[in-house]
Amino acid sequence: MSGWQALPDDLPPEVRHFVEQLRRLKDRTGLSLVALGARTAYSKSSWHRYLNATQPPPRQAVAALCRIAGLDGTDAERFTVRWELAVQAWPRPASATEGDRGSATEGGKASGGERGEVSGGEGYEDDPTLPWWDEPPRRKPGGINRLLLAAVLLLVLLLAVGIAGAVASG
């Protein structure tokens, strides 16, 4: 693959294969990293990190590249499977701890239930360039219960005012 910097020798085979396929797919689009960044929600520098195996791409970035490259459903699904295998095998930074948000943003572990979760409960947190419209809604525990309680109380109050008005007017 001409024009690409050499991948690190110590990459697991799943990661190496995925990144090579990702590079081929990017080359197939004929877009520069700047143009690719403009057509997706991911910056030029994010694509640079993904395509040089310094950070695993989020699933949404891979889906966006597949869409731009014109992959159909079956080929895009195969690419997603390659992504899942690569993310599971991706080397974890030794210095990043769960509490160290500076390192975790660049490729630290996500806590369970995050978008970047992979099997086994460990995964990479998605790229911070993910647009707000692709993020799942984040709710506080008990948030729906409080909203439901407020709605019920409002309904009871409305009924009480209506009954009181009906009694007062005769």
Structure confidence by residue, pLDDT tens digits, 70-116: 988 888 899 889 999 998 888 877 654 444 444 434 444 333 333 34
Whole-number pLDDT of residue 137: 58
101-136 burial, b at 16+ Cβ within 10 Å, e below that, comes to: eeebeebbbbeeeebbbbeeeebbbbbebbeeeeee
Q: Are 110 and 44 in contact (CB under 8 A)?
A: no
Whole-number pLDDT of residue 144: 66
Selected residue with higher pLDDT from 100 and 137: 137
Rounded Cα distance between 7 and 22, Å, is 13
Tell me the pTM.
0.56
Whole-number pLDDT of residue 17: 93
